[in-house]
Structure 1
């Protein structure tokens, strides 16, 4: 805790906040209405393009996100580095706890955020890093529903009229590639690429995706003919000439706009969740791809792949913020997923085989 209060930060940013140049925009997800007030017309245009499928008519918002530009605070914020997740390296986030709020700094970019009851403010070089603003907006959605008892899963998902399939796995394990392959099946809708909210609602299991479009690696692009043209021809040719192992581990993200690739009306963030795949396969395996039912209560290793930390922006209903050493609520996940059939995917990584398994599961043929 520092001597700085939330009100100190709000007051210091007031002169910048009160010069808002753009009209507010409302987004609606799962019944939650978020108003976005953005100072930069250029950045606002990017946000409008990105969130186009959830833009709603102006109405009384449940919360407001203020997106400011550069601003100098008349005091020093004493940030402390936030520990990365296992397997992650380098500095990413730093935090400073206030009286009933938290400042968060993105170390690599210098974008800062105030997270507090009644306040969600981004400031700094925001127009240079629109993806961090997009993530901040989506974080407000995650925070809201997690405070209502939903759990956040590290998963992609698609849905049919009567089926919902989530897909988890280790980072780079192929969940985005799998999800996009399943979008080739008639009747499927995109739910989410990386964050899925889940709750058990008695006679059903509800799932809710956030409006975060897929950010995919080159390996996903060059192995899916529908995605041809997403990157320029010269770069695509370079990628096709890489060794498979080199291509698999290449980190080079591209945004994929679902409506542009699959046509309008293929996004549905609300879903009923019936099945959950956990990708536990390997490129080194000599066994064929296999999909088998498992009991999640007996497989804590698979549950670990599903659970996702709420992160530094999350403040619970008790006012306490999540810390980098807070423990995950395993029973809450088991309860949320108790009526969902969980499947373990093992053997060699074979997207064609998994695609056909998905078509069978969803009751459709490609």
Structure 2
């Protein structure tokens, strides 16, 4: 066939008919209500459990996501690899731009997605890869707010009262470990682990996390007494036998259920952003851990650690899609971060020392 359109994809997948027999899920994050429909009750049950803290009774949705387990397209699509960000290797995503939509395929799993103004559909082995469905749902939340002018940051965040501390840094730089240690403080709330939306406001910027639970590596688990139970005793012994270098670089993601480990009511996605740390410390450093305020407009290196590409699913309000070589706009981030105290964390990697700085910022004691 000639180049397909989004309607050809819809006709092949028939999302409305296939999802009509199961009750949908409704999530609320900030001002957006997401409806999730699926042809699979087991998939819906898993998504309902994962998003439990954000689930609400049925309301008129802002947008709808269809999840079609076990389906694929009956025609061929011309795919192009999506270039990965600097420092990332291997093939991850492929895209096919249609006249009025974009198809995205995950290379490793075969999961595929249709992104358009009117349709957001995940299809393929959804039951086998629920985390990719979860990511797609969260992407729609990110897209909605970015289309309204919010900027997406690569950051974790924790909130207490009127103060919120966001934490950015290079991948594997310790932002999740830092955030989870600060969750030990009385009265703190989990905001987000890896994606934070920010927009300018007075006197402090608005911040909004997404309902994506932390996916953490063994090093984070091993060094937090509350989390060690996530690993078997045998696995703990195996990890304890590794060198610091091996443990630091080990990529082995585990989902952390915040409500189960910290108790109910410890998640709050909407907050007022007062402080922003950028982790620029090093395991090779000899000087003590230090936290000092910086003018982010004078530190493009630190701003680069905060900024995050919207990725292949992002569709601008005018309908055009983000490309893998589309430039980010530092000015938009600088505007969004006005009124936020940005601090650079340098020196040795010392989570206990950094925790004490966090206590002062959040005004709490463990």
Normalised by the shorter chain, which TM-score bucket?
over 0.9
So what's the TM-score if we normalise by structure 2?
0.98
Give the whole-Å Cα distance in 1 for the aligned partners of 2:141 and 2:307: 17
1:69, 1:127 within 8 Å by CA — same for their partners in 2?
yes
The residue aligned with 1:125 is 125
Aligned to 1:160: 160
Give the superposition deviation at 1:19.
2.6
Identify the residue that residue 97 of structure 2 maps to in structure 1. 97
SS in structure 2 of the partner of residue 138 of structure 1: helix
Q: Contact 2:199/2:336 (CA < 8 Å) preserved in 1?
A: yes
**Quick check: 2:71–2:125 contact (8 Å CA) kept in 1?**
no
What is the CA–CA distance in structure 1 between the aligned matches of 2:282 and 2:23, rounded to whole Å? Answer: 49
Moved more, 200-209 or 50-59: 200-209
CA contact (8 A) 1:103 1:113 kept: yes
How many angstroms does 1:319 deviate by?
A: 1.2
- Cα separation, 1, equivalents of 2:191 and 2:321: 28
Aligned partner of residue 364 in structure 1, secondary structure: coil
Other-structure match for 1:349: 349
Residue deviations 1:21-75 (CA, integer Å, cap 9, x gap): 4210100000211100122222222111110000001011111100002224232
Task: Tell whether the 8 Å contact from 2:104 to 2:114 is kept in structure 1 after alignment.
Answer: yes
* Residue matched to 1:19: 18
**CA distance in structure 2 between the partners assigned to 1:252 and 1:45 by the alignment:** 25
Q: 1: distance between equivalents of 2:161 and 2:356?
A: 19
- Maintained 8 Å contact 2:158/2:179: yes
Q: 1:141 to 1:290 in 2, by over 3 A?
A: same
Higher alpha-carbon deviation: 225-234 or 267-276: 225-234
Scaled by the length of structure 1, the TM-score of the pair is: 0.98
Aligned residue in 1 for 2:51: 51
2:279 is aligned with 1:279: yes
Deviation at 1:17, TM superposition (A): 4.7
Are the counterparts in 1 of residues 78 and 96 from structure 2 also a CA contact under 8 Å? Answer: yes
Question: SS at the partner of 1:235?
Answer: helix
Offset at 1:11?
1.0
Give me the whole-angstrom Cα distance separating, in 1, the residues matched to 2:4 and 2:228.
Answer: 51
Q: Secondary structure at the match of 1:91?
A: coil
Q: Tell me, in whole angstroms, the C-alpha distance in 1 between the residues paired with 2:72 and 2:85.
A: 31
Alignment RMSD, CA only?
A: 1.0
CA distance in 2, matches of 1:202, 1:292: 23
Equivalent in the alignment of 2:235:
235
- Cα distance in 2, alignment partners of residues 19 and 249 from structure 1: 43
Please, which runs of 5 or more residues in structure 1 have no aligned partner? none
Partner SS for 2:12 = helix
Find the aligned partners of 1:152 and 1:336 in 2 and give their Cα distance: 10
Residue ranges of structure 2 left out of the alignment (5+ in a row): none
d(CA) in 1 for partners of 2:45, 2:236: 28
Following superposition, the deviation at residue 181 of structure 1 comes to: 0.2
Deviations 1:72-113 (A, max 9, x none): 423211110000111111100000011121000001000000
Kept after mapping to 2: 8 A contact 1:17/1:68: no
Counterpart Cα distance in 1 of 2:165 and 2:171:
18
Q: Assess if the C-alpha contact under 8 Å between 2:18 and 2:38 holds in 1.
A: no
Residues matched between the structures, number: 364
1:259 touches 1:266 (CA, 8 Å); kept in 2? yes
